[in-house]
Amino acid sequence: MKPMNRLSAPHVGLFCFRRVCLLCVIISVWLISQTAHALTIRDDTGRTLTLNGPAQRIVSLAPSITENLFAIGVGARIVGTSASSDFPHAAQSIPLIGDYQSLDLERIAALKPDVIVAWQGGNSTAQIAALERLNIPVYFHRVDTLPDIPLALMRLAQLTGTELATAPIILKAYQQIDLLKDAPQPILPTFYQVWSSPLMTLGRNSWVTDALARCGARNIFADLPLAAPTVNIEDVLKAQPAIFATATPNGIANNSLDAWKKWTDAPANRIQGFIFIDDNAMNRATLRTLSATRTLCAKIADIRSRF
């Protein structure tokens, strides 16, 4: 297995090329923003929206969005956020406007935001439509893979006019992802449990599926198109998972995977293939997800040594 703590020559070249290209894009966008009063940008879904200028009053509709806005240095511009937005600590003092599925539309309107940053696929489509009818610009935030995280941060930087200040953060994130480029062998079939009743997992378009792949593990339901499909026990066991994984508070082991231990024919039970990963770090697509992925890779490597 290749060392994970240094870049090979091709990786260095690729990373430097990416860095130069990214800086060119950022500087170009910044120069354009200085020559026009209005700000026209594309969100993570490709939709175009126009603001009077860089967003100064922002409503965030998901904890991951709140965390990402703090990551690029504009946490002080968030005037309203959703329940469970608890990281960093300063986020806990921001007024709440509901949770990801139930929003207080009147409260949001009263905050007079320049823009609302919504979670594509997570927030209620009906309530998002209602907000748009109030003529409040809605920017959709979406992450499907690990590289989407720094890309989403770059677009948030464009939204807030902080491209130059954010560039080092984005470049560091890409470098961290580049270190995860070569998946170790053999690839271990893995069941990632989101919920036990009903039994839910993650499908194709998930940064967790991508993280598993980069660690040399294969989500056994990666071909399913739904983001969080419901599955049955028989299909899980038929895939012969070598790993059962789930996210828990702070990644502390609990009894959430105990139900699988009675199926002694599952390879995971022969090699003690049970993984618990920090839920907020892994399940929210933020810079912390990159650190959580390194932890995940280390745990998978330990199991691989017993496979």
What are the residue ranges spanned by the domains of the chain? Answer: 9-177, 188-304
**Residue 7: pLDDT band with limits 50, 70, 90:** very low
Q: Which of 26-30, 31-35, 131-135, 212-216 has the lowest mean pLDDT?
A: 31-35
Tell me what the mean pLDDT of segment 272-299 comes to.
Answer: 98
Question: Which backbone phi and psi does 42 adopt, to 5 degrees?
Answer: -110, 140
**Average pLDDT across the chain, whole number:** 90
Buried b / exposed e over 131-155, threshold 16 CB at 10 Å, is beeeebbbbbbbbbbbebbbbbbbb
**Residue 3: pLDDT band with limits 50, 70, 90:** very low
- Per DSSP (E only), the strands in the chain are 39-42, 48-51, 58-60, 78-80, 115-119, 138-141, 188-193, 195-196, 199-200, 217-219, 243-248, 274-278
pLDDT in tens, 60-88: 999 999 999 999 999 999 999 999 999 99
- Kindly report the CATH class assigned to 188-304: alpha beta
Residue 56 has pLDDT above 60, yes or no: yes
Tell me what the mean pLDDT of segment 262-268 comes to.
Answer: 96
Residues 6+ apart with CB under 8 A from 65: 117, 118, 119, 141
Evaluated on CA atoms 169, 171, 174, 175, the torsion sign reads: negative
Instruction: Determine the CATH number of domain 9-177.
Output: 3.40.50.1980
Question: Which backbone phi and psi does 202 adopt, to 5 degrees?
Answer: -120, 145
Amino acid at 211: A
d(C-alpha 72, C-alpha 157), whole Å: 7
> 9-177 and 188-304: same fold?
yes
- Radius of gyration of the chain measured on its C-alpha atoms: 21
pLDDT for the residue 104: 95
pLDDT for the residue 21: 60
The first and second tokens of residue 80, run together, are 């309203």
Residue 51 has pLDDT above 80, yes or no: yes
Range 83-87, long-range pairs (CB < 8 A, 24+ positions): 85/60, 86/280, 87/63, 87/280, 87/288
d(C-alpha 118, C-alpha 101), whole Å: 11
Helix (H, G, I), strand (E, B) or coil at 31: helix
Residues 6+ apart with CB under 8 A from 283: 208, 247
The first and second tokens of residue 217, run together, are 């593990």
pLDDT for the residue 242: 98
Tell me what the mean pLDDT of segment 211-230 comes to.
Answer: 96
Q: Report the largest interatomic distance among the alpha carbons of the chain, rounded to a whole angstrom.
A: 66
d(C-alpha 208, C-alpha 250), whole Å: 16
Q: What pTM does this model have?
A: 0.87
pLDDT for the residue 123: 86
pLDDT for the residue 5: 40
**Residue 305: pLDDT band with limits 50, 70, 90:** very high
How far from chain centre, in Å, is Cα 23? 23
pLDDT for the residue 23: 57
pLDDT for the residue 182: 81
CA distances from 116 to 13, 40, 289 (A): 38, 15, 23
